[in-house]
Amino acid sequence: MQKFIAIDIGAETGRVIVGDVSKMEIIYRFPNSLVRVKGSIFWDILGIFNEIKKGLKKAFKKYSAQIVSIGIDTWGVDYALLDNDGDILGNPYHYRDKRTDNIMEVVFNIIPKKEIFTETGIQFMQLNTIYQLYSFAKKKPQIFENARYFLTIPDLLNYWLTGIIKNEYSITTTTQLYNPIKKDWSTKILNKLGFKRGLFGEIIMPGTKIGKLLPAIALEIGADSEVVIIAPACHDTGSAVAAVPIEDNANYAYISSGTWSLLGIETPEPIINEMSFKYNFTNEGSADGGFRFLKNVTGFWIIQECKKFWDEKVKSYSYDELTEMALKYGSANFRIDPDDSRFLKPGLIDDNMPDRVKVYCQETGQKVPETPAEIVRGVIESLADKYTETIKMIEEITGKSTKEIYIIGGGSRNGLLCQIVANATGLPVFAGPVEATAIGNLMIQAKSMGQIKSIVEGRKIIRRSFDIKKYLSEE
C-alpha cells in the first residue's frame, strides 16, 4: 500500500506524519517557537528545515519502500524573499512582529479599504502579508529592491526540497494580494503599492505534483530519488477543512480550532459584498479550488500564552489539567473579546497574558478573575460566544441557516469547549479528527496519486476511520 508523508507545521509545533486517508502515524515532532532579535520577532526557518529533514530521515528509515510523496502545510501570511540566485534575503518575520503596527492605515491612504476588499475578499488583520510586505519595503528598501522571488513559508520549504519555485493557491490567497475573481495576483494592488509583478510567480492548485526531491536531499534523508513533492492545500487550514468528515451536504459550519479558530463555510465562489465587508470576513482558497468563507477568530492563543506565564511563575500545568480545573470551576463571571488587539502580541513577564485578561475585565467593569481555572473557563466561554455571534453573521450574509458544526484540529480534543459551543449555539457539534490538517494533507496527496477519486470519497473514509464525537446542547 502506498504511503504519503504529511509535514504539518503550526505556530507551536511541527510534525512529520506517515499515512494514507484511513490511518496515520506521527513519526517525529519538533517545537516551533519565535526568536527575538533586537526587538523584532522571527521564525527560525533554517532550524525548521533541519527538523523537517530529521523527521524525513526517520520516516524513510521505517517506510522507505512504501513512501511515494511528501506534502507540506504551514500557517499563512508569512513569507520569505529570495535573490537572483534563489538565496534567502534575511530571516522571515513572525506575523505577530510589531512592524505592522499602524501600517494598515498607511496602506488605506494609498488604496481605500473597500477597494482592497473588493479586489481580494480577504479579512483585514494587521498581520496580513500585504501590510508586512509594505512595511518591509519602506523600512528595508535596498533589500526589497534586490528581491527576485516572493515565497510563502511552505512554498519556500517546497523550493528547498525540489529546487522548483511555485506558489500554491490556498496559501497565496492568505496574502491579501490575490484576486479571486481573476484567479491571479492582483496587479492593481501590486502596482499601487510599488511591488514588482515579477516577484510573484506561477500559482498552482492543491494536488499539483511540484517535482522530485533534489538528489542531494534524497541522499541526505535516505529516500528514493523518485519521491515527489505534492502541494496539498499548503495553508494548514485549507488542508484541515478538506478533512471535515461530513456525511452529506447539509448546511454545516466548521471550526478549525488551534492557536487560531477559523470558523466558516465552504463555497464554490467567493462571497464579496457589502455585508461580508462590514463583518470583516475572508475568502481563502480551499483544497478543491473553491473558497473557505470564514472569519479568523483568536483561538487557544490566549490560553497558550497564559500557560507559558503560569508554567514559569506559578506552576507547570498540562492543557488537560487546565481544562479539568475550568470544568470544575463552573461558569465564569466575565467575558473578553478574544480579538481585542491587546491579546495579539506574545506576553512578556512584565506584560503577561493573565494580567491583560484582568485589566480588560477591570476596564469593562466586570469581575476580575484571579485563578487559572477561572481565567481558562472565561476564555473558553468567550470563544463560544464569539463562535455563536460569527455563525449568526454567516447566516445573515448567506441567508441559510446552519444545521451542524464540525470542530476539527487540536481544539476538538477539548470536550469542555465542544460542549459549551453546543450549548451556546443550540446546534449539534461533531468533534474530530484531532489531526485534521495532517489527514487532509495526506488525503490530497492520495487523490493526486490516484489512490482515491475525490475529496467527497476521502471525507467518507475519514468519517469511518477516525474518532468523531457528537455533542448535543444540554440547555
Active site residues: 236
Those residues whose C-beta lies under 8 Å from the C-beta of residue 145, and which sit 6 or more positions away, are: none
**188's grid cell:** 492593481
Q: How many C-beta atoms surround the C-beta of residue 475 within 10 A?
A: 6
Rounded CA separation 381/377 (Å):
6
Type of residue at 279: Y
On the 0-12 / 13-18 / 19+ scale of CB atoms within 10 A, 91 is middle
Rounded CA separation 360/358 (Å):
5
Q: Annotate 255-279 with DSSP letters as a single string.
A: EEESSEEEEEEEESS---SHHHHHT
Closest CA to 237 of 380, 384, 436: 436
Rounded CA separation 151/168 (Å):
9
Rounded CA separation 56/50 (Å):
10
Type of residue at 192: K
Rounded CA separation 122/180 (Å):
10
- Altogether, the residues listed in the chain come to a count of 475
> What residues are paired with 24 via a beta bridge?
19
Question: Under DSSP, is residue 369 helix (H, G, I), strand (E, B) or coil?
Answer: coil
Closest CA to 237 of 268, 185, 282, 202: 282
**Residue 296, phi then psi, degrees to nearest 5:** -80, 120
H or E stretch covering 393: helix 372-398
Closest CA to 331 of 377, 388, 386: 377
The stretches of 399-434 forming alpha helices (DSSP H) are 415-425
